[in-house]
Amino acid sequence: MLRYLARRILQIFPVVLLAVMMNFLLINLAPGDPAVVMAGEHAPVEYIAELRKSYGLDAPVLERLGTYLVKLMHGDLGYSFAYRRPVLELLLERAQATMLLVLISQFFSILLGTWLGAYAARHHNRIADKLISYGTILLYCMPIFWIGMMLIMIFAVKLQWLPSSGMTSFMSFGRPRWIDIAIHMILPATCLFLHTLPIYAKLARASVLEVAREDFITTARAIGFSERVVYMRHALRNALLPTVTVAGLSLSALLTGALLVETVFAWPGLGRLMFEAVSARDYPVLMGGFLFATLLVIIGNFIVDVIYTYLDPRVIYS
């Protein structure tokens, strides 16, 4: 097991290197000129040329790639064109807000979605199963930005229970900061939670129904275990493998959903930063954000491999 984990860790480096090179080339070969965006369309040609030179944009793409890789090896992700700040500092600042939002919503969507899927599988073809199945399909068809706007309209505008935007209030009325953040996080986290809940519910239902046909489930029933114990303790544990796989792979995909959610709720996270970087042609921030997403996928896969051995003893790494 330890040798396998060590080999997987060593495999991370070439994967990250290849991803960094692809991201750099895709971004830098795309149409658009960051110097023109920074200077303005009607700026003098000499000023635009000076900006290109000061930010190293006048060098050939391959030369810039080499310089970027050397800096990256020293932990330097570059300097933001738009924010005039180090990219690493920006990413760490914004990633805290995004990961707080994503991890909390992901935790509850996995927990409740898996339970709903297992409950629907246990009551297969009954009213509860049909209600959960139709409800999750309906929820899955709703665009995430539309869910966000409906939450704002109901709970922020009509009922005025919760704030509609931001991460903190200008006046917190003596509340501790963490409570203020938690209150502001309810609506965006709920929006992201409702967006991912149907995926885990449908996946858990299909997996539990498949496992329920296995011989060891028949044996558990023959021993005399109740249906609740058979499904929740035996079938669900073996059906969790696909759920764990999807959860590990969806960490970076959640950044896409977080981008829309953070835009709707003005949440100061990484998704909103990436959106602003695209508008400003802020290449260093875009490359840093893509690198962060790549690392999330790799780390997610690594954690999934480790969890597999605990969920299913038949999985053995050599």
Domains of the chain: 2-73 (no CATH), 95-311 (1.10.3720.10)
86: helix, strand or coil: strand
Specify the range with the lowest mean pLDDT, choosing from 18-27, 54-63, 133-142, 170-179.
170-179
19: helix, strand or coil: helix
The three-point CA angle 107-11-308 to 5° equals 40
Specify the range with the lowest mean pLDDT, choosing from 87-96, 145-154, 173-182.
173-182
79: helix, strand or coil: strand
Could you identify the residue written with the tokens 């924010």?
A: 83
Instruction: Specify the pTM.
Output: 0.76
What pLDDT is stored for residue 307 in this prediction?
73
What pLDDT is stored for residue 257 in this prediction?
63
Q: What would the mean pLDDT of 286-299 be, rounded to a whole number?
A: 83
Q: What would the mean pLDDT of 248-256 be, rounded to a whole number?
A: 66
**Residues 65-107: pLDDT tens digits?**
888 888 888 888 888 888 888 888 888 888 888 888 888 888 8
Taking Cα atoms as reference points, which of 121, 125, 130, 126 lies closest to residue 212?
121
**Residues 25-40: pLDDT tens digits?**
888 777 777 777 777 7
Q: How far apart are CA 167 and CA 180, in angstroms?
A: 8
For residue 188, count other CB atoms closer than 10 A to its CB. Answer: 27
Percentage of residues of the chain with pLDDT beyond 90: 4
pLDDT at residue 261 is higher than 70: yes
What pLDDT is stored for residue 153 in this prediction?
92
**Residues 179-235: pLDDT tens digits?**
888 888 899 999 989 988 998 888 888 888 887 777 777 777 777 777 677 766 667
End-to-end CA distance of the chain: 6
Structure token digits, residue 171: 């006046």
